[in-house]
Amino acid sequence: MNLRKDSKISTEFNASSMTDIVFLLLIFFIIISSVVKDPALKLVLPKGVNNVNPINKVILVEVDENLNYSVDHKKTSYARLPFDIQAVLKDSPEATVSIRGDKNVRYEDVMNVVMIADKQGAKVVLALDQD
């Protein structure tokens, strides 16, 4: 009685069933992609406006690398900065405060000026240089 001949395990791989599955998936994705006609992003574009509001005054607050401060090109100290910004905002309350920091100034020093202007109720923007 020879048991070894019948107990061999076949190591061959039959790929015909794998190609059937890939073919069915390909057909599925082709059909689904042709059914979906809606765009992926629905954008709501703004409408044009005929009446344009005039640009509000811009107050420039600068900080240089030696931590010298100025409001509209008038030098001031850090302690006087809130009072000077408030005085300028009293004349034009709808003004925007543009803060420009030197590239060598620490981020925290510029953000301190942003917080001071924000406490005064100003609309604050950070000015960036092109270089």
What is the rounded average pLDDT of the residues 51-65? 78
Percent of the chain with pLDDT over 70: 79
Average pLDDT over all residues of the chain: 81
- How high is the pLDDT of residue 43? 66
pLDDT digits (tens, 9 = 90+) for 85-114: 888 888 887 888 888 888 888 889 888 998
Would you state the structure tokens that stand for residue 16, as one six-digit string? 């015909």
pTM above 0.85, yes or no: no
Cα dihedral 91→92→96→102 (10° resolution): -20
What is the rounded average pLDDT of the residues 29-47? 73
Least confident of 16-20, 43-47, 69-73: 43-47
Question: What domains are defined for the chain?
Answer: 58-126 (3.30.420.270)
Which comes out higher in pLDDT, residue 3 or 33? 33
- The confidence band for 7, taking pLDDT boundaries of 50, 70 and 90, is low
- How high is the pLDDT of residue 55? 65
- How high is the pLDDT of residue 75? 93
Contact 120, 95 (CB under 8 A): no
Within a 10 A sphere around the Cβ of 117, how many other Cβ atoms?
Answer: 25
Is pLDDT at 25 greater than 90 in this prediction? yes
Contact 60, 98 (CB under 8 A): yes
